[in-house]
Homo-oligomer: A and B are copies of this chain.
Amino acid sequence: MKAKLQVGVLGFGTVGSGVIHILKEHQEKISQVTGYDITVKKVLVRDLEKNRRYETEGFSLTTEPLDVLDDPEIAVVVEVMGSIQTAREYILHALKAGKSVVTANKDLIALYGDELVAVAHENRCDLFYEASVAGGIPILRTIVNSLAADRIQKILGIVNGTTNYMLTQMTSENKSYEEALKEAQELGFAEADPTSDVDGIDAARKMVILTRLAFGMNVNLDDVETKGIRGISEKDIQVAYQLGYKVKLVGRAEEINNTVDVTVGPVLLPRSHPLSGVNYENNAVFVTGAAVGETMFYGPGAGELPTATSVVSDLITVAKNAKLGTTGNAFNSFVHETKNTPSDQVYSKYYFRLEMDDKTGTFLKLTKIFADAGVSFDKILQEPLDEHTATVVIITHAASRKQIDEASNAAHAEPEMRLITKYAVVEG
């Protein structure tokens, strides 16, 4: 007879019932791995009547949060109800009552992660949220585990499935932004108001979470330079493709001299880069470690069963830690003072698309602007747009963000040229 580990579940939607289902189906295996029988004791629901038929399943239903949060027999609380403020309140209550918590709530963790982590640590509880980033990919666990024996230098992530689906459609089916968005909405990947996806906010939240784990720094959302794909042009996608690149919405976090730089935006990736092969709604995180080199983790970014699987993985870790007596240690080991990298120390190649009046001297002026900022050209492509205007595409050599901003601002100030697009270029 194994010791029991009793779980309370907040929320009985598709993920919640997925968790309950998996715990039951894999009960024996889980108990062999953890040394515990993990069972669900109570589930918080909105409506008792609607869920009556589950009452014979071995757990009880309640509409009263404290029934779960104050139950001394419940050792772990699983939060899969969504929302931010209510979930935060319940989780704080659970942690202060000494219960470990597993959540799939990325918005909550991105916004209040440092507060919740601190409270978890004070109360010697675990707080895990594997499902909050890249749904079914065990990326957080892998980062935490590999950190024990390596040092992470850089993370590149395709962490928003909706925008990756749209860019895939625009690249391989030549769809327009509007068509791609409409299709994503019809398929249920994008919401009626797609702001959080297409403006890069969702990706930025996930990068905040990844940065906290990989570099031990609590970056604010406001410090993440965030650009989305709203209104992105087919033209850039096509030109990039001709030049050997794919355009992807990529979150980048990089450690530079004990500072960290985190950005989200469209970037040009060489077609041979492993992230270029990540299509449709899939996610992937590309990690560079000092010892291990380049690794990538690919999989579904969302979905009920993948998410539920990640939640159960977290539960298994909580159970192991409970036995190990290492509960509450996860976030202890690796916290640094958060420092953002100054913009003159972040280097990248860049892609520019400009429209220029087609008259003598304009190109010379452009060349001078970039030379003055200390930015040199790797590739230039010029073609006539109409009788009076030329399209100029430039790929620069690596330059600092400060230099690139200087060149952009100077180009903006010239009436003969219009800077249409500016994207970072990732080298393979």
Contacts and interface: CB of A to CB of B under 8 A. Distances in A.
A109 interface: no
A28 B284 CA distance: 30
Contact of A333 (B33, B292, B320): B33
A148 interface: yes
Interface residues of A, number: 58
B279 A148 contact: no
A298 B299 contact: no
Contacts of A293: 136, 299-300, 303, 305-306
A20 to B, nearest CB: 12
Given A274-B277, A274-B298, A297-B297, A30 B326 contact: no
Interface string A174-212: 000000000000000000000000000000000000000
A325 B323 contact: yes
Given A35-B325, A146-B313, A136 B292 contact: yes
Given A35-B324, A138-B146, A29 B333 contact: yes
A296 interface: yes
A341 interface: no
A278 interface: yes
A306 B294 CA distance: 10
A317 to B, nearest CB: 9
Nearest to A312: B149
A262 interface: no
A147 interface: yes
Contacts of A273: 277
Contacts of A334: 29
A291 interface: yes
A308 interface: yes
Work out how many copies of this chain go into the complex.
2
A147 B324 contact: no
Given A274-B278, A276-B277, A309-B146, A295 B32 contact: no
A137 interface: yes
Contacts of A309: 146, 149-150, 289, 291-292
A141 interface: yes
A37 to B, nearest CB: 14
A258 interface: no
B313 A320 contact: no
Interface of A: 22, 26, 28-30, 32-35, 136-138, 141-142, 145-150, 172, 272-274, 276-279, 282, 284, 289, 291-300, 303, 305-306, 308-309, 312-313, 316, 320, 323-326, 329, 332-334
7 contacts: A29-B147, A32-B326, A34-B326, A138-B146, A149-B313, A289-B309, A324-B324
Q: What are the 3 A-B residue pairs with the smallest beta carbon separation, nearest first?
A: A277-B277, A295-B299, A296-B298
Given A32-B326, A141-B145, 18 more contacts: A26-B150, A30-B148, A33-B326, A35-B324, A136-B292, A137-B295, A146-B309, A149-B313, A274-B282, A276-B277, A289-B309, A291-B308, A291-B309, A292-B300, A293-B299, A293-B303, A296-B296, A320-B320
